[in-house]
């Protein structure tokens, strides 16, 4: 198992990288190749699960050199790492033959899966990266991000012609794809070996004390955004929807850090709603859980996103959600488990957010059934054992076909 991002005590992609190794070790002997970034945590946790791990790091000279390359240094380091992993895995394979090779992170198709060429059954993913911001939403992103998003779309298409990426897509036996947006972006000739599987997963400790689902109709209505504050999580559209003559008493709490905060704070001030919007920055997990408990609804307006851990946490907690039917979030919820807006134009989105929030708060009794549906969706499709069983069957089928 190859996981560049892998930390038993981490968050996001790092936690998912470890989660795959830990979960598959319940049924298989796992040899993990990662980096030493989380060495202490791996040394403590890996032996508990019988996981043998090896660390490969980018040398300091390459890191220093790559940091001088504007825009492409990180990509260069990861490409180098992948090449070294392939040669290392090849040596391990000669000593003690593997049955399957599975690369779980990087969580993007733009970094190749070189070890798919080991000559054994190979699984890649879940991968994402094919998501794009729909046209016309530049103002919600801010001028700098709007330009970079256009460049990103071009880069995505160019990446499909990079020999190592094209080879990875061609050679891999099964590809797990985080969402249908990325699936539709990948060349159709590979679709027959793809399976859509959202990357996010429920933490086991979150299952211990699930709160009772109850109406959240106390005023003022406390809206919550939680997560990394990226421009593509287009909170300015929410600001506009609730700023002018919104006929309800409301508050909005924004929890997280990120490059979008200056633009968001500027817009809040321009709209004259700074007394209703609280920016908390990053907070400890226990504080975040209290914020979830206080909130009437989670707003997660992602124009381009492969998933969203806050979204899954809210689903599990039985909390109302407003999000967009696009990319990862559109895969995680449906109209029975969340308030879903399909982003077609900024004007349409602002109008629809406003009208759907008003309708939602006017009928709090309907929220309980929605929240129950969201929790069941989280429990049925996002627990580790559910994902592991699917992947175990994939492993078995590939090995059987190889015999």
Q: Are residues 260 and 394 in the same domain?
A: no
| Cβ-proximal residues to 395 (8 Å cutoff; 6+ apart), any chain | 28, 99, 100, 102, 121, 123
pLDDT at res. 53 = 97
pLDDT at res. 73 = 75
Integer Cα distance of 353 and 341 in angstroms = 7
- Taking only the tens place, the pLDDT of each residue in 313-366 is 999 999 999 999 998 999 899 989 999 999 999 999 999 999 999 999 888 778
Q: Would the pLDDT of 199 be above 70?
A: yes
Percent of the chain at pLDDT above 70?
99
Q: Would the pLDDT of 95 be above 70?
A: yes
Q: Would the pLDDT of 72 be above 70?
A: no
Q: Are residues 143 and 39 in the same domain?
A: yes
Token pair in block for residue 283:
């907070």
Domain that holds residue 127: 2-199+383-402
Beta carbons of 307 and 157 less than 8 angstroms apart:
no
pLDDT at res. 244 = 83
Beta carbons of 339 and 320 less than 8 angstroms apart:
yes
- Taking only the tens place, the pLDDT of each residue in 142-185 is 777 777 888 888 889 999 999 999 999 999 999 999 999 999 99
Name the pLDDT band for 282 (thresholds 50, 70, 90).
Answer: very high
> CATH number, domain at 175?
3.40.50.2000
- Taking only the tens place, the pLDDT of each residue in 364-381 is 778 888 999 999 999 998
Name the pLDDT band for 139 (thresholds 50, 70, 90).
Answer: confident
391 or 361: whose pLDDT is higher? 391
Q: Are residues 366 and 397 in the same domain?
A: no
Q: Are residues 133 and 210 in the same domain?
A: no
pLDDT at res. 242 = 95
Q: Are residues 245 and 327 in the same domain?
A: yes
Lowest mean pLDDT segment, chosen from 260-269, 275-284, 356-365 = 356-365
Measured over the CA atoms of residue 188, residue 194, residue 198 and residue 199, the dihedral's sign is negative
What is the pLDDT averaged over residues 1-21? 93
Q: Would the pLDDT of 119 be above 90?
A: yes
Integer Cα distance of 331 and 388 in angstroms = 19
- Of the candidates 54, 40, 43, 66, the one whose C-alpha atom is nearest the C-alpha of residue 4 is 54
Q: Are residues 389 and 314 in the same domain?
A: no
- Taking only the tens place, the pLDDT of each residue in 26-43 is 999 999 999 999 999 999
Q: Would the pLDDT of 70 be above 70?
A: no
What is the pLDDT averaged over residues 229-240? 95
Q: Are residues 226 and 297 in the same domain?
A: yes
Q: Are residues 27 and 83 in the same domain?
A: yes
Q: Is the peptide bond before 193 cis (omega within 30 degrees of 0)?
A: no
What is the pLDDT averaged over residues 268-288? 94
Give a three-class secondary structure readout of the chain: CEECCCCCCCCHHHHHHHHHHHHHCCCCCCEEEECHHHHHHHHHHHHHHCCEEEECCCCHHHHHHHCCCCCCHHHHHHHHHHHHHHHHHHHHHHHCCCCCEEEEECCCCCCCCHHHHHCCCEEEEEECCCCCCCCCCHHHHCHHHHHHHHHHHHHHHHHCCCHHHHHHHHHCCEEEECCHHHHHHCCHHHHHHEEECCCCCCCHHHHCCCCCCCCCCCCCEEEEEECCCCCCECHHHHHHHHHCCCCCCEEEEEECCCCCHHHHHHHHHHCCCCCCEEEEECCCHHHHHHHHHHCCEEEECECCCCCCHHHHHHHHHCCCEEEECCHHHHHHCCCCCCEEECCCCHHHHHHHHHHHHHHHHHCCHHHHHHHHHHHHHHHHHCCHHHHHHHHHHHHHHHHHHHC
Integer Cα distance of 165 and 113 in angstroms = 7
Q: Are residues 358 and 389 in the same domain?
A: no
Q: Are residues 387 and 371 in the same domain?
A: no
Integer Cα distance of 90 and 27 in angstroms = 23
Q: Are residues 219 and 354 in the same domain?
A: yes
Beta carbons of 302 and 235 less than 8 angstroms apart:
no
Using only C-alpha atoms, the chain has a radius of gyration, in whole angstroms, of: 22
What is the pLDDT averaged over residues 296-323? 92
298 or 153: whose pLDDT is higher? 298
Q: Would the pLDDT of 250 be above 80?
A: yes
Left (φ > 0), alpha (ψ -120 to 50) or beta: where does 50 sit? left
Name the pLDDT band for 71 (thresholds 50, 70, 90).
Answer: low
Q: Are residues 147 and 227 in the same domain?
A: no
- The domain tally of the chain equals 2
Integer Cα distance of 388 and 156 in angstroms = 29
Integer Cα distance of 265 and 278 in angstroms = 10
Tally Cβ neighbours within 10 Å of residue 185: 19
Please give the mean pLDDT across all residues of the chain. 92
- Of the candidates 52, 108, 59, the one whose C-alpha atom is nearest the C-alpha of residue 83 is 59
What is this structure's pTM?
0.90
| Cβ-proximal residues to 301 (8 Å cutoff; 6+ apart), any chain | 233, 234, 235, 237, 238, 322, 323, 324, 341, 349, 353
């Amino acid at each position: 198992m190859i996981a560049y991002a892998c930390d038993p005590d981490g968050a996001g992609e790092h936690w998912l990288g470890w989660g795959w190794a830990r979960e598959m070790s319940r049924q298989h002997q796992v040899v993990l190749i990662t980096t030493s970034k989380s060495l202490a945590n791996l040394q403590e946790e890996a032996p508990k699960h019988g996981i043998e791990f090896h660390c490969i790091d980018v040398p300091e000279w390459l890191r220093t050199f790559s940091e001088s390359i504007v825009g492409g240094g990180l990509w260069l380091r990861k490409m180098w790492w992948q090449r070294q992993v392939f040669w290392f895995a090849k040596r391990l394979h000669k000593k003690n033959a593997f049955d399957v090779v599975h690369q779980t992170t990087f969580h993007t198709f733009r970094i190749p899966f070189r070890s798919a060429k080991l000559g054994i059954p190979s699984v890649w993913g879940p991968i994402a990266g094919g998501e794009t911001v729909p046209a016309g939403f530049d103002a919600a992103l801010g001028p700098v991000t709007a330009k970079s998003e256009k460049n990103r779309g071009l880069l995505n298409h160019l990446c499909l012609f990079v020999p190592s990426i094209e080879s990875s897509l061609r050679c891999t036996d099964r590809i797990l794809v985080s969402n249908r947006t990325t699936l539709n972006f990948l060349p159709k000739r590979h679709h027959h070996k793809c399976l859509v599987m959202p990357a996010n997963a429920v933490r086991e400790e979150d299952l211990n004390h699930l709160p009772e689902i109850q109406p959240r109709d106390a005023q003022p209505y406390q809206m919550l955004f939680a997560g990394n504050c990226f421009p593509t999580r287009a909170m300015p559209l929410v600001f506009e929807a609730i700023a002018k003559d919104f006929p309800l008493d409301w508050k909005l709490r924004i929890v997280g850090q990120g490059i979008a905060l200056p633009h968001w704070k500027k817009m809040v001030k321009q709209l004259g709603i700074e007394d209703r919007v609280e920016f908390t920055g990053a907070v400890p997990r226990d504080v975040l859980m209290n914020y979830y408990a206080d909130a009437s609804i989670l707003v997660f307006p992602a124009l381009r996103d492969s998933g969203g851990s806050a979204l899954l946490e809210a689903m599990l907690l039985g909390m109302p959600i407003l999000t967009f039917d696009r990319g990862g979030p559109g895969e995680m919820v449906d109209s029975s488990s969340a308030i879903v807006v399909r982003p077609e134009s900024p004007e349409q989105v602002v109008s629809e957010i406003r009208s759907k929030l008003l309708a939602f708060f006017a009928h709090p009794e309907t929220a309980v059934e929605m929240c129950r549906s969201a929790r069941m969706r989280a429990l049925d499709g996002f627990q580790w054992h559910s994902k592991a069983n699917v992947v175990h069957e994939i492993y078995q089928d590939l090995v059987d076909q190889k015999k």
